[in-house]
């Protein structure tokens, strides 16, 4: 299987107080880009797994499990949320994108 696509795991640290500037500083996002294989989930399988057909679900398969904490993922500068992971293979994520 080719891992020709890229997925970026984004974690946003909490804001902190800087006494020198006398104000709260927002945390800058930390990006971690990994190679992956992307594919779309069929309508039948979406109905089986999530019980609805109104979702556009993308599957991201990684070479190795990703165990770090993250807030959301980005693919081609589009934000996705993780709706589930595979139990038997830890490097598989089910992603739902934001519709705009």
* Model confidence pLDDT, tens digit, residues 58-81: 999 999 888 899 999 999 999 999
Q: Is the pTM of this model over 0.85?
A: no
How far is residue 67's CA from residue 42's CA, in Å, rounded to a whole number?
27
Distances (CA, A) of 99 to 16, 47, 55, 80, 89: 32, 19, 10, 10, 28
Token pair for 12: 């946003």
- The domain segmentation of the chain, as residue ranges, is 5-13+23-97
What backbone torsions phi and psi does residue 39 show, to the nearest 5 degrees? -150, 155
Calculate what percentage of the chain has a pLDDT beyond 90: 44
**First and final C-alpha spacing in the chain:** 31
Q: Which residues contact 27 (CB under 8 A, 6 or more apart)?
A: 12, 13, 14, 15, 16
């Amino acid at each position: 299987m080719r891992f020709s696509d890229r997925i970026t795991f984004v974690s946003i640290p909490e804001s902190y107080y800087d006494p020198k500037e006398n104000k709260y500083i927002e945390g800058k996002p930390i990006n971690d880009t990994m190679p992956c294989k992307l594919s779309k989930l069929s309508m039948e399988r979406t109905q089986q797994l999530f019980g609805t057909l109104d979702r556009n679900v993308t599957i991201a398969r990684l070479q190795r499990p990703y165990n770090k904490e993250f807030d959301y993922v980005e693919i081609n500068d589009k934000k996705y949320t993780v709706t589930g992971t595979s139990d038997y293979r830890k490097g598989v994520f089910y992603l739902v994108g934001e519709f705009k």
